Structure 1
Amino acid sequence: MCADKTSDTAQDTPDYKSTLNLPKTDFPMRAGLPKREPGWLERWAQIGVYDKLREKKGREPFTLHDGPPYANGHLHIGHALNKTIKDMIVRSHQMMGHDSRYVPGWDCHGLPIEWKIEEQYRAKGKDKDAVDMIEFRQECRAFAEKWVDIQREEFKRLGITGNWDDPYLTMDYHAEAVIAEEFMKFLMNGTLYQGSKPVMWSPVEKTALAEAEIEYHDHKSHTIWVKFLIVRAVEKTGARSQLIGVNVVIWTTTPWTIPSNRAIAFNPELSYGLYKVTSAPEGNWAKKGDHYLLADNLAEDVMKSAKVDEFIRKRDVSADQLDLVICGHPLRSVDGGEGEWDFDVPMLPGDHVTDEAGTGFVHTAPSHGADDYILGIKHGLQMTHNVIEDGSFRQSLPLFGGEVIITPKGKEGGANTAVISKLAEGGALIARGRVTHSYPHSWRSKAPVIFRNTPQWFAAVDRDIDDGQSEMGDTIRERALNSIDKLVKWHPQTGRNRLFAMIETRPDWVLSRQRAWGVPLTCFVKKDAMPHDEDFLMRDPAVNARVVAAFETEGADCWYKDGAKARFLGSDYNPDEWEQVFDVLDVWFDSGSTHSFVLRDRADGTEDGIADVYMEGTDQHRGWFHSSLLQACGTKGRAPYRNVVTHGFTLDEKGNKMSKSLGNTIVPEKVVQQYGADILRLWVAQTDYTADQRIGPEILKGVADSYRRLRNTMRYMLGSLSEFTEADRMDVADMPELERWVLHRLAELDHKVRTGYAAYDFQGVFSAVFNFATVDLSSFYFDIRKDALYCDGDTERRRAARTVLDILYHRLTTWLAPILVFTMEEVWLERFGDAESSVHLEDFPETPADWLNEPLAAKWAKVRGVRRVVTAALEVQRTEKVIGASLEAAPVVHVRDSDVLEALKSVTFEDVCITSAVELSGDPSPAEAFRLPEADGVGVVFEKAEGAKCQRCWKILPDVGNHTHDGVCGRCNDALS
């Protein structure tokens, strides 16, 4: 094998180094990506690469619709992962022959931005409520604009391609007009209604929250065991009458909801008993002689919590006995209650009751729980309005008026302890405690939320829609479920199961938020009418059209201008008879509507308003995937996407969630500054993004090492292709077997690359290409052909090798371009550096099908198998200092299989093994032969090469010194001549 030489040749022997065809390239081994990448970004902007790609005619469109990030802060590692995956999808489909479009977008309305402006107000001692609504909204708009510009540059620095000059923003006037128009489709098709039911409410942010805006954290709650005295039975059978005077015991972790109690639920399938306390400490809340109704599986735990010394089970209590039994409210007799709780508390059957924790009886407050509400509706229980928007009890509530559940700073107020104290005062408690459990919090303020009954606007998911789009079903839920199963492909498939289960059981969609920065619910309600009245909601296409037209030219701010109501109602209605709704839409409705003003309305959208792919994190099954599906099913009758691709979350190296407090966050900007964006992109390509990924300093070092190995492969090809021209190209049919084997491997790889990219499997693509480059090429083909490339003259073997290198170059460079966008541009420009050239303007080269040659591949698999034994045998000799290089060897290779032996004889096996000679034998292997367990029937006997060392190629051959040029072999003599 030839290499750069600094050998101690005799002084009278010529130095042949200058006669070798050594690699020539200016491509540096040290990438210097952090400093050099911005230059390529500038070049792409000058060339207008994205726009030039749009000029390619006759290509099938492919559209990835961008799930909008929120415009309120610098990018985190999740943003980098998300946008890089999207970029790889867009670029790879473009290079596979599509017109691959990508319009980046931003979510601009909503509470996070509003919250930031309010924080600024609080810092200045400014009262938000004293600020003009439009002025406040304009401050929110300016805040969003600032962060859109910042994030745009941060995304571009990661090498993300797209229509950056014309992104979509949910706060653009046209976007606001379309969002309002889409909302009014729900108004017109009958799915919109106003209802009063418990929703997750943030007392800190004073608004309802969607499930997607909730995260769960450990929270320490009060726990109380409360007695409800049975006072009578609706039907006085003997069994029921015997329960009068007995206490039903409930357990709750939300004592503040007790004032809103309206019933107790039990499960007819559970086993219940009547228990008597027979011994208890003096002064204990649970006293000797007390009788309690409890689920049998929980009785012992309850008595232990109540510090009862001894108790007995007196008898069974059946579901029939419990049904129609009436209790008194535990606050009924507390002084100062003013008769507020002087009402019946019925016992009602409910499937949601279990005996896994608590008492087997569930305190039911229909205004403060989902199951409670359902049970309340079924049995006509009264809804309460005891808790106001700031998370405190209404001032008129006896005993507790003004008490706070959650303070404006997200801390526990005094409501729980106030309720507990009054229950204890009235003798209604048998135990109290604290428990740490998973509890819902707002993902913005990080504060606990409460279930609170408020009037809200809903989209009904189970109402029939008469809009002529019933192919997927008549209701939003039916259309969504059918779309999931019949119209959408899921990557991975588990995404289908997750979203299907959510849609199958979800309640009606809460559309309204009690905030200021957003698109208002553009509807009017009739004064003095009730929500269930036929004329409660105005449904007038002319009014709707005036609203949309105004939003197009003035934006949604015009809804808040003086005289807006009269302007929109026009002369057909008396403004005094109608009320204008000022709630704003849930921001998930904004982003869920983006398919309309991006895919449907833009010139770079899609003909049918449907995206080829939506790609987001797994949390978006309850977020953007979910809201987009519901919104589109309500307005266009089907899902707005054909494929849904999901990625997991990003964790630190130990698998922990990233947190500023833990100091384990990875900031994309810092990774780019240290390593370059291509290293971050390579990390994305090397991970299984469908699961949670890990990143950290050690992982990034490993990624950088993979990058260096790949860069070295590309550098070697560039150097070996120096001055290669079309005149040097050789026909495939005339190539040696080794080159044709490489082309066979390329054809196999071409299929893997294309199918992998089409299936969004970047890990599979990169793994296949990287292993090919480092194993098949660097460790095998390049190793073998280095001698011919360096030392041959203008031989067919060298021309064939360089032709294959050129073929490899074009494929590896383009195949890797969607991943390593900067590096492959550098590799491309090293050979094709004219002003308008870019690898990102190229397609993947077509690979001839006849390059596939399975018989040849099978033969070379046998050759490589024997080569591994020879290489291992020589490594033993090298380790023992018998030889310094493999060219000093001329091993004898014994091969038992005659077919394998013939295969070896048909190739120049010494070149394959990088030895100066090889003797092949079918004789049995002698005892001293080197063997490998996995290569049965192959033995290698080491022999040293005979002859002199060629001072040009370093092979040891008998003919060295017998030619015109001193100290060289015949092959090198011919090359020198």
Structure 2
Amino acid sequence: MCADTPETPDYKDTLNLPKTDFPMRAGLPKREPAWLERWEKIGVYDRLREKEGRTPFTLHDGPPYANGHLHIGHALNKTIKDMIVRSHQMMGFDARYVPGWDCHGLPIEWKIEEKYRKKGKNKDAVDVVEFRRECRDFAAEWVDIQRDEFKRLGITGNWENPYLTMDYHAEAVIAGEFQKFLMNGTLYQGSKPVMWSPVEKTALAEAEVEYHDKESFTIWVKFKVNLDNWPETTYETEEDEFFGEQMYLHLQDAQVVIWTTTPWTMPSNKAVVYGKDISYGLYEVTGVPEECWAAVGDKFLLADNLAADVLGRARLNDDQWTRVCDVSHESLAKLQLTHPLAGAEGSNGEWDDFRDFRAAEFVTDTEGTGFVHCAPSHGMEEFELYRDLGMLEQVITYNVMDDGGFRADLPFFGGKYILNRKGGEGDANKAVIDKLVEVGGLLARGKIKHSYPHSWRSKAPIIYRNTPQWFASVDRKLDDGMGEMGDSIRERALRSIDELVKWTPQTGRNRLHSMIEARPDWVLSRQRAWGVPLTCFTKKDTLPTADDFLLRNDQVNARVIAAFEEHGADVWYKDGFKAEVLDGIVDPEAYDQVFDVLDVWFDSGSTHAFVLRDREDGTEDGIADVYMEGTDQHRGWFHSSLLQACGTKGRAPYRNVVTHGFTLDAKGMKMSKSLGNTIVPEKVVQQYGADILRLWVAQTDYTADQRIGPEILKGTADSYRRLRNTMRFMLGSLGDFSEDQRVAAADMPELEQWVLHRLAELDHVVREGYKSFDFNGVWQAIFNFATVDLSSFYFDIRKDALYCDGDTPNARAARTVLDILFHRLTTWLAPVLVFTMEEIWLERYPGDDSSIHLTDMPETPRDWLNEPLAAKWAQVRQARRVVTSALEVQRTDKVIGASLEAAPVVHVRDEAVLAALQSVNFADVCITSDVSLTNDPSPAEAFRMPEVDGISVVFEKAEGAKCQRCWKILPDVGQFAHAGVCGRCSAALSE
């Protein structure tokens, strides 16, 4: 540069570059707690309740157990609930959320017992009220811990006044709801096989059971055939007589073989059954290998489809047995069987009676032997068979005690345990197998790995055990005046599922419907101490089937409820309580007080009554708009709430049921501490912040199982940064925006009107997505709009006008649109990114009482929709893609460094498309200094894209000089008062 050449001024400071203090680095882990404190200080949740004239919307919280730190499933669950509540609030509802906790039950009781065991203390030696007090204190401590952990995730709600199932009023209502079952005839005491935990010494509900692989003993046992009662028959023909006599001879000394995976049930065997449609044969052993429990000449009755497998299990080769003959069902019906332990020395006649032998519907020939050993005390199918036959008294046994041990006086096996104290294999199975070997009752044995029910608390296997329990009938007709949906609990539940409830996803309906359709009566009683007792009394020396067995008295019930309201359920265990509530009504000495506690699912199933019905922030009709939990709650809270409400309200307590799947690790495996693949919410919050965890929830399809891991969270954080950058650009560009700069939509350029059209489209998508709880759909729509339509297209184009124009219509319109975008994006995203949207909002609207969460989503005018304009700009954007792709080739080849160095020639075959491109400033759209549009035939060397027909590009360099302010290359640069700039920039500088 010559010494006398005037130096071009630096125009950087004259540009309207974005100005904001909003940091690109979020620093969420450190900054989020301050926003939590701020929300609490200004009372955001309470102030929202003060907004008048709104339609209530209530999500009823399914209560977690108050017994440990949160896991990732808790975080997913509560975040989805929070998004539902916040989004509906911002769409104009009065969206209420009362968090709650399940405080009774075995999970908490188990923790106190663990503490006792470590101290060598016996729970049964502790006063029950003192034990219950320890359980209550334990639960209260964890409620406080979990409350803080939930709040740290940004969950809004009435945290100062949550619901607890152990509150006195809650306990009184739970007892009152049980009394409705007592009074309407639903309740009865019965004795049937129930799922029983020997480790926990209590009955379990289906929802308290999970299935794990377990290795079990499997045995093939021989029952000797007895022909003493073979009837004398008069045959019609000599041939029939011959075959009848032959069958009798063949069956002499024959044995029926059964197969079982529960050897411990053999001492309780009372019958063997066969299938009505199964083909049976008699098989004789003709040779034996060494170490075989069969002998030459042994004859076994087996299903034909299973005979080869069974004899192979007995170590017999195919040439060591032969099929003797068919055995008809008529012949089977003539047989009697003896138990393999019958007559054994020392058995004291325990098993000497003949075993019942008959056909049954549930027998198959797909596995086993085709014959099923029946211990009706330990299996529902067998129990129901003999119940329907009226033979329960003959077949029910009480050999297994509550701790899983055999009764002490049972010959050979007294004092043996099915499980050891920690839930492992006890000594009962081995003792039974050894005794069967000793008496020659075993044909084969082995082991099998199969899915087996376990208690989800102790993780120990369970058994089926016949015990007296309290049940709620699901099929009895209820005379309660609430029969609109049906006369029984089952009928009401099934009709509610189909007629009153919307399911998200729809598969939830199918799952719960099939469960309700097939479920047995509800086992309400638990043999534990920490819970709401079954507040009923039974008449002494009276059979459970008698009409007066249960005391049904409204006055007694009212006294119990009043005492619970004042003192809590502990008062039930106070000495003399029975006399207090019965005195003057009936003779207290004539009645026994029931001390079983209610199934904890009855507690949580009753929450609609003491939360939705009774609280001021409940609902007018005691019905929630939404219940939302994991898919396991189809057999848990959704299920028990439905049954309970159908028995006491006559219908389901919810209008919508939303279900999420399970959270797996990044490889799709179940999380386990032993595998070391758990993701702890607290750690994620410490590393990334709660908003990243919330965004992960929004990005998942929660209706299916979802995955989480370090790489997945990194990807989530990257999406967050991209969105944050978009919002930062808007904040910077709106720093000096004022209302007097606002432009009416009708006066805006087409590009801005197109953005408004997209906003109107997106407003519908967002609102419908939030209404249908589709957060993934909402997030994807907003994120794609922000990154593709805005950052990569609209912002890219309008940066030039925003930075370089003066107070022009284009610049004003662009800032108006940015302001419109700001209010919609912040409110649309606030239910997801609760902290970040608050930070962004306060950048523009600081103030002691300001909060995005006090703001509604703005209404979007429907007249912004402009389909013809959208179609036109779809053509413009398609043509732009061809141009930018052509320029990218030149940039890669180092021909140009930036697109402003180009002035491409665009050949457009379709005249309508050409006219569309000519009607807009297509050079600005393509971010080039100039562009030529023509419908001349395209030269061979032109750039084309296969997917865009009729548009091609010939690269040309822009002519002129580079404007030192806007960097466009234009012919008029240097011809104005301000040195080195174009006419547009000179005018802006003059302003």
TM bucket, shorter chain: over 0.9
1:282 CA displacement: 4.3
- Equivalent of 1:879, from 878, 885, 892? 892
> Which residue matches 1:591?
604
Count of equivalent residues: 968
Checking the alignment, whether the CA contact within 8 Å between 1:325 and 1:346 is kept in structure 2 is no
1:274 CA displacement: 1.2
1:510-549 map, 5 Å: 510-549=523-562
Checking the alignment, whether the CA contact within 8 Å between 1:324 and 1:347 is kept in structure 2 is no
Q: String of CA shifts for 1:694-716, please: whole Å, max 9, x gaps.
A: 00000000000000000000000
> Which residue matches 1:368?
378
Query: Residues 930, 282 of structure 1: CA spacing in aligned structure 2 closer, same or farther, 3 A cutoff?
Result: closer
Any unmatched runs of 5+ in structure 1? 1-9
- Correspondence 1:833 to 2:841: no
Checking the alignment, whether the CA contact within 8 Å between 1:367 and 1:384 is kept in structure 2 is yes
Query: Residues 99, 236 of structure 1: CA spacing in aligned structure 2 closer, same or farther, 3 A cutoff?
Result: farther
Alpha-carbon distance between aligned partners in 1 of 2:6 and 2:275, rounded to the nearest angstrom = 102
Q: SS where residue 306 of structure 2 aligns? A: helix
> Which residue matches 2:240?
none
Q: String of CA shifts for 1:766-810, please: whole Å, max 9, x gaps.
A: 000000000000000000000000000000000000000000000
The one-letter code matched in structure 1 to 2:127 is: D
1:420-439 map, 5 Å: 420-439=433-452
Query: Residues 110, 880 of structure 1: CA spacing in aligned structure 2 closer, same or farther, 3 A cutoff?
Result: same
- Equivalent of 1:278, from 283, 286, 291? 286
- Correspondence 1:976 to 2:989: yes
> Which residue matches 1:295?
303
Which shifted more, 900-909 or 420-429?
420-429
Alpha-carbon distance between aligned partners in 1 of 2:291 and 2:857, rounded to the nearest angstrom = 84
Alpha-carbon distance between aligned partners in 1 of 2:930 and 2:961, rounded to the nearest angstrom = 13
- Correspondence 1:347 to 2:360: no
- Correspondence 1:256 to 2:244: no
Alpha-carbon distance between aligned partners in 1 of 2:332 and 2:505, rounded to the nearest angstrom = 48
> Which residue matches 2:144?
149
- Equivalent of 2:957, from 922, 937, 944? 944
1:241 CA displacement: 4.2
Q: SS where residue 931 of structure 1 aligns? A: strand
- Equivalent of 1:184, from 179, 184, 191? 179
1:316 CA displacement: 1.7
1:889-968 map, 5 Å: 889-968=902-981
Which shifted more, 498-507 or 326-335?
326-335
> Which residue matches 1:848?
861
The one-letter code matched in structure 1 to 2:315 is: K
Alpha-carbon distance between aligned partners in 1 of 2:274 and 2:490, rounded to the nearest angstrom = 30
Checking the alignment, whether the CA contact within 8 Å between 1:221 and 1:253 is kept in structure 2 is yes
1:769-808 map, 5 Å: 769-808=782-821
> Which residue matches 1:71?
66
> Which residue matches 2:129?
134
The one-letter code matched in structure 1 to 2:274 is: F
1:234 CA displacement: 6.6
Q: SS where residue 645 of structure 2 aligns? A: helix
Alpha-carbon distance between aligned partners in 1 of 2:939 and 2:330, rounded to the nearest angstrom = 91
Which shifted more, 262-271 or 964-973?
262-271
Checking the alignment, whether the CA contact within 8 Å between 1:895 and 1:920 is kept in structure 2 is yes
Alpha-carbon distance between aligned partners in 2 of 1:463 and 1:71, rounded to the nearest angstrom = 35
Alpha-carbon distance between aligned partners in 2 of 1:562 and 1:65, rounded to the nearest angstrom = 37
Alpha-carbon distance between aligned partners in 1 of 2:842 and 2:142, rounded to the nearest angstrom = 34
Alpha-carbon distance between aligned partners in 2 of 1:572 and 1:871, rounded to the nearest angstrom = 91
Query: Residues 802, 295 of structure 1: CA spacing in aligned structure 2 closer, same or farther, 3 A cutoff?
Result: same
Q: SS where residue 937 of structure 1 aligns? A: strand
1:462-611 map, 5 Å: 462-611=475-624
Alpha-carbon distance between aligned partners in 2 of 1:932 and 1:288, rounded to the nearest angstrom = 84
1:378 CA displacement: 2.2
Q: SS where residue 521 of structure 1 aligns? A: coil
- Equivalent of 2:655, from 629, 642, 656? 642
Q: SS where residue 980 of structure 2 aligns? A: coil
Alpha-carbon distance between aligned partners in 1 of 2:986 and 2:331, rounded to the nearest angstrom = 110
The one-letter code matched in structure 2 to 1:287 is: A
1:323 CA displacement: 2.9
Checking the alignment, whether the CA contact within 8 Å between 1:589 and 1:627 is kept in structure 2 is yes
Checking the alignment, whether the CA contact within 8 Å between 1:227 and 1:250 is kept in structure 2 is yes
1:408 CA displacement: 1.4
> Which residue matches 2:101?
106
Alpha-carbon distance between aligned partners in 1 of 2:557 and 2:359, rounded to the nearest angstrom = 46
Query: Residues 597, 366 of structure 1: CA spacing in aligned structure 2 closer, same or farther, 3 A cutoff?
Result: same
1:855 CA displacement: 0.1
1:430-449 map, 5 Å: 430-449=443-462
Alpha-carbon distance between aligned partners in 1 of 2:400 and 2:900, rounded to the nearest angstrom = 88
The one-letter code matched in structure 2 to 1:325 is: L
Alpha-carbon distance between aligned partners in 2 of 1:689 and 1:875, rounded to the nearest angstrom = 39
Query: Residues 34, 283 of structure 1: CA spacing in aligned structure 2 closer, same or farther, 3 A cutoff?
Result: closer
Alpha-carbon distance between aligned partners in 2 of 1:461 and 1:326, rounded to the nearest angstrom = 38
1:133-282 map, 5 Å: 133-232=128-227, 233=229, 235=231, 238=244, 241=248, 243-282=251-290
TM-score when normalising by structure 2: 0.97
1:244 CA displacement: 4.8
Alpha-carbon distance between aligned partners in 1 of 2:713 and 2:291, rounded to the nearest angstrom = 64
Alpha-carbon distance between aligned partners in 1 of 2:722 and 2:526, rounded to the nearest angstrom = 54
Q: String of CA shifts for 1:584-604, please: whole Å, max 9, x gaps.
A: 000000000000000000000
> Which residue matches 1:614?
627
1:236 CA displacement: 5.2
Q: SS where residue 507 of structure 1 aligns? A: coil
Query: Residues 286, 419 of structure 1: CA spacing in aligned structure 2 closer, same or farther, 3 A cutoff?
Result: same
- Equivalent of 2:48, from 50, 53, 70? 53
The one-letter code matched in structure 1 to 2:65 is: Y
1:272 CA displacement: 1.5
Which shifted more, 533-542 or 908-917?
533-542
Query: Residues 162, 283 of structure 1: CA spacing in aligned structure 2 closer, same or farther, 3 A cutoff?
Result: closer
Q: SS where residue 655 of structure 2 aligns? A: strand
The one-letter code matched in structure 2 to 1:415 is: A
Query: Residues 682, 11 of structure 1: CA spacing in aligned structure 2 closer, same or farther, 3 A cutoff?
Result: farther
> Which residue matches 1:759?
772
> Which residue matches 2:387?
377
The one-letter code matched in structure 2 to 1:445 is: S
1:572 CA displacement: 2.1
Checking the alignment, whether the CA contact within 8 Å between 1:526 and 1:538 is kept in structure 2 is yes
Q: SS where residue 326 of structure 2 aligns? A: strand
Runs of 4 or more above 4 Å deviation: 233-237, 239-242
> Which residue matches 1:5?
none
Checking the alignment, whether the CA contact within 8 Å between 1:459 and 1:511 is kept in structure 2 is yes
> Which residue matches 2:315?
307
Q: String of CA shifts for 1:929-950, please: whole Å, max 9, x gaps.
A: 0000011111100000000000
Alpha-carbon distance between aligned partners in 1 of 2:646 and 2:628, rounded to the nearest angstrom = 19
Q: SS where residue 416 of structure 2 aligns? A: coil
Identity %: 75
- Correspondence 1:658 to 2:677: no
1:322 CA displacement: 2.2
1:300 CA displacement: 0.8
Q: SS where residue 35 of structure 1 aligns? A: helix
Checking the alignment, whether the CA contact within 8 Å between 1:367 and 1:383 is kept in structure 2 is yes
1:145 CA displacement: 0.1
The one-letter code matched in structure 2 to 1:899 is: A
1:325 CA displacement: 2.7
RMSD: 1.0
Query: Residues 11, 485 of structure 1: CA spacing in aligned structure 2 closer, same or farther, 3 A cutoff?
Result: farther
TM-score when normalising by structure 1: 0.98
Checking the alignment, whether the CA contact within 8 Å between 1:324 and 1:348 is kept in structure 2 is no
